[in-house]
């Protein structure tokens, strides 16, 4: 354990190495570590934000879904109402048509019956006159008995 000029050399080496580290080792390492710390912090912040966003989005989705469901129910309600009213109208229309048709048919049928009755009456009168003519050819004078025959015809109607 003797002291000599090595001491001085060692002091010089000491400062040279310290300077080298200060210049070329420390700053890049510090920069890399700080950058990484920032990156991680940013990543965590982004993750947090994403989580909040997701919650918000889920809430909004829920609301939209509810709204859509409500409007769908509205539409369905409206459609049902409309359908009912259409069916009602159609039914009324159909009833009206049926009634009209029935009335027309009845009128026509009545007319036909009337006509037939009149025809029949005419024919019966003629047949009766003809029959009576045949039976009473000689005894009955058509002209003399015209009032009688006309009365008979009236009674039969």
Partner 1 sequence: MATENEAQGPNASDYIKHHLVHFNSSGHKQEKLVDFHIINYDTVFYSASVGLIAVLLMAIAARKATSGVPGRFQSMVEMLFEMVADQAKSLIHSRESRKFVAPLGLTVFMWILFMNAMDFLPVDLLPRIWSDLVGPVFGIDPHHAYQRVVPTADLNGTLGMSIGVLLVTLYYNVKIKGLGGFAHELIAAPFGDKWFLAPFNFALTMIEFLAKTVSHGMRLFGNMFAGELIFMLIALLGAAWTGPNAGSIALWLAGVVAGSAWAIFHIMVILLQAFIFMMLTLVYVGQAHEGH
Q: What's the sign of the alpha-carbon dihedral 55, 61, 67, 69? A: negative
Q: Between residues 33 and 57, which has the closer beta carbon with respect to partner 1?
A: 33
User: Does 1 sit near partner 1 (CB under 8 A)?
Assistant: yes
Q: Between residues 33 and 61, which has the closer beta carbon with respect to partner 1?
A: 33
C-alpha distance from residue 79 to each of 71, 84, 94, 132, 157 (Å):
12, 8, 22, 76, 61
Three-state SS for 59-109 is HHHHHHHHHHHHHHHHHHHHHHHHHHHHHHHHHHHHHHHHHHHHHHHHHHH
Count, residues near partner 1 per rule CB under 8 A: 33
User: Does 45 sit near partner 1 (CB under 8 A)?
Assistant: no
Footprint on residues 14-43 left by partner 1 (CB under 8 A):
14-15, 17-18, 20-22, 24-33, 35-36, 38-39
Minimum distance from CB of 50 to partner 1 (Å)? 21
Minimum distance from CB of 24 to partner 1 (Å)? 5
**Could you identify the residue written with the tokens 């047949």?**
127
Q: Between residues 1 and 144, which has the closer beta carbon with respect to partner 1?
A: 1
Q: Between residues 18 and 87, which has the closer beta carbon with respect to partner 1?
A: 18
**Beta-carbon contacts of residue 47 (< 8 Å; ≥ 6 apart):** none
Footprint of partner 1 on this chain (CB under 8 A)? 1-11, 13-15, 17-18, 20-22, 24-33, 35-36, 38-39
């Amino acid at each position: 354990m003797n002291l000599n000029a090595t001491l001085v050399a060692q002091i010089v080496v000491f400062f040279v190495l310290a300077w080298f580290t200060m210049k070329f080792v420390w700053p890049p390492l510090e920069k890399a570590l700080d950058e990484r710390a920032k990156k991680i912090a940013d990543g965590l912040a982004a993750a947090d934000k994403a989580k909040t966003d997701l919650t918000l989005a889920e809430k909004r989705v829920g609301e939209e879904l509810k709204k859509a469901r409500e409007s769908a129910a509205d539409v369905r309600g409206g459609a049902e109402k409309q359908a009912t009213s259409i069916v009602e109208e159609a039914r009324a229309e159909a009833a009206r048509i049926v009634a009209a048709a029935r009335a027309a048919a009845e009128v026509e049928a009545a007319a036909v019956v009337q006509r037939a009755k009149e025809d029949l009456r005419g024919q019966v009168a003629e047949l009766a006159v003809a029959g009576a003519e045949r039976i009473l050819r000689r005894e009955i004078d058509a002209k003399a008995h015209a009032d009688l025959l006309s009365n008979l015809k009236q009674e039969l109607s």
